[in-house]
Chains A and B, each alone.
Chain A
Amino acid sequence: MTEILHIDWTRCDGRGLCTELLPTVLVRDDWGYPLALQATNGNRSNPAISPGNIEAAREAVHLCPKLALSLVPEQAKPRQ
């Protein structure tokens, strides 16, 4: 089952750990905030995580100092 990495923008402070753990998913924008390389259904707050990246994504969720990340099943898509 595909999971998506949800970024809570109200918490994110652009510390950048997630971009180091998931370099193929996220880069940093002009101000250091995570920028999804690929939009998932036009949504750039919830990048899809491939099976190969799941472990790194779990680590990012646990290590994020602002607790801004969560992994959610794709069906439970946040409101648009």
Chain B
Amino acid sequence: MTIQEAVGPAVDTLRGSAGTYQLFAAGSNAGLAEHEQAFGPLSLAAIDAGFMSVLGESGLTGRGGAAFSSWRKVAATAQGRGAALLPAKPVVIANGAEGEPLSFKDKTLLAHAPHLVIDGLLIAGRAVSASLLYIYTTPAAMPVVEAAVAERRDARKIKVVQAPETFISGEASAVVNSIATGVALPLDNRRRLSAAGLKGRPTLVLNVETLAHVALIARHGSGWFRAAGSERDPGTRLVSISGQGAGQVLEVEGDARLCDVLSSAGVDLSTVGAVLVGGYHGRWVRDLECRLSPSGPGENVINPGAGVLHILPARDCGLEATARILDYLARASAKQCGPCMFGLPAMARVLSAIAYGDRNPRLVLELERLTKLVGGRGACHHPDGTARLVSSALEMFAEDMKAHLLGTCTRETRSAI
């Protein structure tokens, strides 16, 4: 299956590996008719209390990056109504912000299978007795999503809200803040969104791909979902592959080997220097035999995050590539929290100095010190994700670091990022 017209700047070729293309089974740019023909109509009345246990058995985890148990999130929201006399009805938000520059699987999903996401949102809404439903998405995907919502009578209460195209706009509390006030910045995390989110109501924010999986689990059951993937990482996930040739979106089985995924995308493994797994908040990986599973990092396992796989060609310098990303991340700070506002630019200055020729060996220790200093100190996980990226670069590119300090790095300092 090849899909070439996608909404937005990313034009993606899409193929399923190992015959597992379920999410795109309705074909490219699927309307409601194609959707119902491929998946069958949605029977919302069948979603009762038993669905929670089906979702629990499926083992579905969030596909937006954090890989938290979807069932636990839904259950926490259902219970978040508390014991008030007149409990507030919950809110469910389909998160399609996808601010990560190297990710385009959510835009692709919304372009080709918007009805599967809408199904998932309606199902999740019913499961928690929500009264407000939102789809939060980028300007590029807005027309398709709005048209899809307008096409169906059961989706009338869904509001489509535009997400700003910033790195941070998809963070769950920023999503809530954006819908409530138009400002897509994270909120202080003392209160849980499942207890008091949008308009003070229990709020469930789920990634659009997660909701598409919910729609299939509701139709086919947990056993069907678990038939793909592994015990520790059931089901399939979408990955965005970039860095070599045209960007591609693939649906791959859980726990897939990185080299198998890259091979099925047509990547020549001999030209791969390293792979950035999980995007700008992810990790650099050199061992292509490792498996992609949220149970990582561990022995031969790496957490795929939101499914970003970005290839660094063997001839390119990983330190410089990381310096460029770090510079972007420092600028992407919401500048609300001091350690992030000042710490990330400080880290970026040090890594850039190393990457572009400063041979002072103390810079490495300074970068390590700053990386430790920002961790765990902010309203959101932007500093933690940034620290994760830098730590993995220091580990994976230790040889390159030595070469830089000796002034002998011969790799090209030109990067696609």
**Interfacial residues, chain A to chain B (CB-CB below 8 A):** 6-14, 29-33, 35, 39, 42-45, 70, 72, 78-80
Contact = CB atoms under 8 A, between A and B. Distances in A.
B190 A72 contact: yes
Interface residues of B, number: 23
Contact of B188 (A10, A14, A29, A44): A10
Nearest to B373: A29
B65 to A, nearest CB: 13
A40 B346 CA distance: 26
A13 B378 CA distance: 13
A42 B80 CA distance: 26
B377 A45 contact: yes
Contacts of A29: 339, 343, 373
B67 interface: no
Contact of A78 (B190, B339, B340): B190
A15 to B, nearest CB: 11
Contacts of A44: 375-377
Interface of B: 185-193, 336-340, 342-343, 346, 373, 375-379
A79 B378 contact: no
A40 B273 CA distance: 38
Top-10 shortest CB links A-B: A9-B337, A44-B376, A33-B338, A8-B188, A31-B342, A10-B336, A78-B189, A79-B192, A78-B190, A10-B188
Contacts of B340: 9
Given A10-B185, A45-B189, A78-B192, 6 more contacts: A6-B190, A9-B340, A9-B377, A29-B339, A29-B343, A45-B378
6 contacts: A13-B338, A30-B373, A70-B190, A78-B189, A78-B191, A78-B192
